[in-house]
Amino acid sequence: MNSTIPKQFLELSGKPILIHTLEVFQQHILIDEITVVTNEASFSQVKLFVERYELNKVKQIVIGGKERQDSVYVGVVATNTDWIMVHDAVRAFITPEEISRLVEAGKGNHQAVTLAVPVKDTIKKVNRNGVVEETLKRDQLWSIQTPQLIHRALLLHAHEQASKQHVNATDDAMLIELLGEPVHVVEGEYTNIKVTTPDDIYLGEAILAKRQKGSV
């Protein structure tokens, strides 16, 4: 995204994306506390926003690491709860209902659960030369989202093992998979997008506008 402003600070409907995200968790009855992980350059801005929008469930703001995985680990260590829900700051359209479904799945003796949606497009495996090698079975493919709800002890162990083995995963569910532990999928919503491109901003504005009218 061609902007000097970090994505999480870009505004949607007059409010930073980060705040849209945090307010969903702030207002959810099943969320006890929030830990925000950020970089050193953004620390003061995050603190200012948390105070301005009176997000009293944010108990701590911590400085993360070089990679996403490092930052999640810092957040896990800093948080002393039995369960941890890891969420991308720029997935601002998560719904209270999705959060509730994750928690219910966790109560069902699942140690690791993630939101996901079935893929709509045909997915093909392509080699380095741009040639299709294989068409994957769409009925077995899901697009993984966040939040991902994982028991803290399991998540901490997964990160520690990954560090020892120099594994850099794209999400926390992958670290659980590498331990040989099951990750259960909870079907989410296609509106739970991650804001990464200018087009996502336009889509996000549309999602918010429709929700305000009660149609999404």
Q: Which long-range contacts (CB under 8 A, 24 or more apart) does 213-216 make?
A: 216/191
Q: Say whether 17 sits in a helix, a strand or coil.
A: helix
pLDDT, tens digit, for every residue of 37-94? 999 999 999 999 999 999 999 999 999 999 999 999 999 999 999 999 999 999 999 9
Using DSSP, state whether 133 is helix, strand or coil: strand
CA 149 to centroid of chain Cα atoms: 10
pTM of the model: 0.93
CB 90 within 8 A of CB 21: yes
Full set of structural domains in the chain with CATH = 7-212 (3.90.550.10)
